[in-house]
Amino acid sequence: MTTTPRLSVLDLIPVRTGQTSADAVASSVALARAADRLGFERYWFAEHHNMPAVASTTPPVLIAAIAAKTERIRVGSGGVMLPNHAPLVVAEQFAALEALAPGRIDLGIGRAPGSDPVITQLLRISGPTADVDRFPDHIADILSLLSPDGATLRLTSGREYPITATPAAQATPTLWLLGSSDYSAKLAAELGLPYVFANHFSGEGLERALELYRTEYRPSEAHPAPETFLTVNASVAPTAEEAADRALPQLHSMARLRTNKPMRPLETVEEALAAPRDSIGEEVIAGMRRRWIIGDPDASAAELRRLAERHGVDEIMVVPIGGTYEAEPADATPGRVQTLELLAGALAS
């Protein structure tokens, strides 16, 4: 029997030529409302910094905004890059979000910086807020701080000092570990936490990471069995040709990142089609296209079903990367909305 996976969304809030941050955020609000209306499971924001093509810098702020404008969809981070933040601050932010939208908040946590070394140092200018070497300890701290009972700090004087993320928590966000290596898979298994591999970004090592996670999983009270899903970039349109054209701006942007070229706002579809060809970039793009979902609704839905069955998951988180034509409104993202609508329709049929 072919698996029909549930669908979710990961949003980086792409910024294109001629678009302001306000335009980009407005288009993502509309996209989240569409995902809510279409029955998607969850809507996550990534954390990236100082990137001209990405406006998703502050997941907690964006989560609060989207939670207020949607009705049923889970909202969360994909993820908060913990080395950039103090664990107590993260716990307090997400405890507050859980109070605002009870039962709808996911806290996805990663250990990458989400930017270049210069920005990483600026983010940590007041000192090492969450030392990468202590990442497992800080995950445990956040879990304790978020719990209704809170945590207890033992001071040098020997006195115990109670700490809670909120005064009277009734429920806690669901914490997910994110990563693109064996490390995060093994840590999630050890802690008995849900886990997501960043397949949309890399794709290398996916099978090994999922196998490690599942075989080494230690059941926890909150999560007696391993929980995971896939992420994948997708551009879906009425025709395969349109889907390919709309995917090109994001493919070019990722190729620039992979070949260490200066980053800039996403091109429009017309700019991407007119851009000069680069042999090295074309090779990188060809490799990415093989892992992305780019096509018409039926072919794309069939590929999603194959992915879900091949990797034993019942949910796929889509990064909708459909680009925009110059004539389309600056505060809208028709290619991304279209991707969600067509995928949801094709999987339901």
- pLDDT tens sequence across 135-146: 899 899 999 999
Residue 3 reports pLDDT greater than 80:
no
**pLDDT at site 171:** 86
Encoding tokens for residue 312? 């034993």
In the predicted model, what is the mean pLDDT of residues 116-129? 58
The residue ranges of every structural domain in the chain are 6-348
% of the chain with per-residue pLDDT over 90: 76
Write the CB contacts of 1 (distance below 8 Å, at least 6 apart in sequence): none
Tell me yes or no: is domain 6-348 CATH 3.20.20.30. Answer: yes
pLDDT at 181: 85
The residue-averaged pLDDT of 13-17 equals: 97
Q: Is the pLDDT of residue 96 over 90?
A: yes
pLDDT category of residue 97 using cuts at 50, 70 and 90: very high
Position 1 scores a pLDDT of 45
pLDDT single digits (tens) 178-231: 998 899 999 999 999 999 998 998 778 899 999 999 999 999 999 999 999 999
Q: What is the mean pLDDT of the chain?
A: 92
Question: What is the distance between the alpha carbons of residues 316 and 39, in angstroms, rounded to a whole number?
Answer: 13
Inform me whether the pLDDT recorded for 114 exceeds 70. no
Confidence of residue 303 (pLDDT cuts 50, 70, 90): very high
What pLDDT score does 280 carry? 84
Task: For residue 323, give both structure tokens.
Answer: 């680009």
pLDDT mean over 235-260: 96
Return the minimum-mean-pLDDT range out of 70-84, 125-139, 153-167.
125-139
Task: Check residue 83 and give its pLDDT.
Answer: 86
The whole model's pTM is what? Answer: 0.93
pLDDT in tens, 268-282: 999 999 999 888 889
3-state secondary structure the chain: CCCCCEEEEEECCECECCCCHHHHHHHHHHHHHHHHHHCCCEEEECCCCCCCCECCCCHHHHHHHHHHHCCCCEEEEEEEEHHHCCHHHHHHHHHHHHHHCCCCEEEEEECCCCCCHHHHHHHCCCCCCCCHHHHHHHHHHHHHHHCCCCEEEECCCCCEEEECCCCCCCCCCEEEEEECCHHHHHHHHHHCCCEEECCCCCCCCHHHHHHHHHHCCCCCCCCCCCCEEEEEEEEECCCHHHHHHHHHHHHHHHHHHHCCCCCCCECCHHHHHHCCCCHHHHHHHHHHHCCCEEECHHHHHHHHHHHHHHHCCCEEEEEECCCCCCCCCCCCCHHHHHHHHHHHHHHHC
Q: Residue 127: what pLDDT?
A: 52
